[in-house]
Amino acid sequence: MRIIRQKQGAQLKVGRIVISTIRARPGATHGVSDVLAAATVLTAPATLALLGFAGGGIVAPLRRLGFEGRIDAVDISREGLELFEEYCRPWAGDVRFTQADAVGWLRRQTRPFDLIIEDLSVEIGGDITKPDVSLQEIPALMRSMLTPEGWAVINVLPIPGLSMTRTLARLRAPFPTSFVVSMEEYENRVVLAGRRSVSARWVSVRLREALRAIGSRQSTKIAVRRLPRPQ
């Protein structure tokens, strides 16, 4: 992983792929992290878990959106943590990082979360994809650890040998309600899943409002649709 220092922060990259944009102050990254962070407007969370840290690039849009609560973050690697401490610590608020396996960490938690953001990734042959646990243990674990009004937010990457349709179906399977956000500039999808019975329009309007509020270019580049329940 390479570190690219910039005037307003830094980026973590694998090849040409940007893993994380770390800002020197709260604000938009203009990338996928903005869309993940915008999900806070769906539930007004008091408790937030972040699975996958990668330098904490998501913290800047989260704080700019007004989320002031504690962020419980876990990652199997400490890569990027020094950049976070350098650029973000003065303004980041209560961010508690634990170096651990995400599955084991989530199983050890004793309180539910209003928002769980799953941003796990793994490098295979120079490409970035999801680890096996993202399709296996973690979706059901996230549902079990959500409050009744809570949401799971998943950054979905292409998985070799598995179509995006099948990937989305497996991720949404444990949840009564789910939506997928597509972005014009990225292959990624973002899955929003929970128990609340709301419409795709309701989700879309709130996400766009949040993205506009922080000046994110993604505000005009997303589309939201409901994911069907598995047959």
- 87-135 pLDDT, tens digit per residue, is 999 999 999 999 999 999 999 999 999 999 999 999 887 789 999 999 9
Backbone angles phi, psi at 164, to 5 degrees: -65, -35
Alpha helices in the chain (DSSP H): 32-38, 59-64, 81-87, 102-108, 137-144, 164-172, 200-213
Residue 17: beta bridge partners? 14
Three-class SS state of 104: helix
The Cα–Cα gap between 40 and 47 comes to 10
Beta strands in the chain (DSSP E): 2-6, 9-14, 17-23, 48-51, 71-75, 95-99, 113-118, 122-124, 127-129, 146-156, 177-183, 189-194, 222-226
pLDDT digits (tens, 9 = 90+) for 130-140: 999 999 999 99
pLDDT in tens, the chain (231 residues): 788 888 788 988 887 788 899 999 999 999 999 999 999 999 989 999 999 999 999 999 999 999 999 999 999 999 889 999 999 999 999 999 999 999 999 999 999 999 999 999 998 877 899 999 999 999 999 999 999 999 999 999 999 999 999 999 999 999 999 999 999 999 999 999 999 999 999 999 999 999 999 999 999 999 999 999 876
Q: What is the largest CA-CA distance in the chain?
A: 50
The Cα–Cα gap between 10 and 20 comes to 8
Domains and CATH numbers, the chain: 24-226 (3.40.50.150)
The Cα–Cα gap between 227 and 178 comes to 6
* Structural tokens at position 158: 């292409």
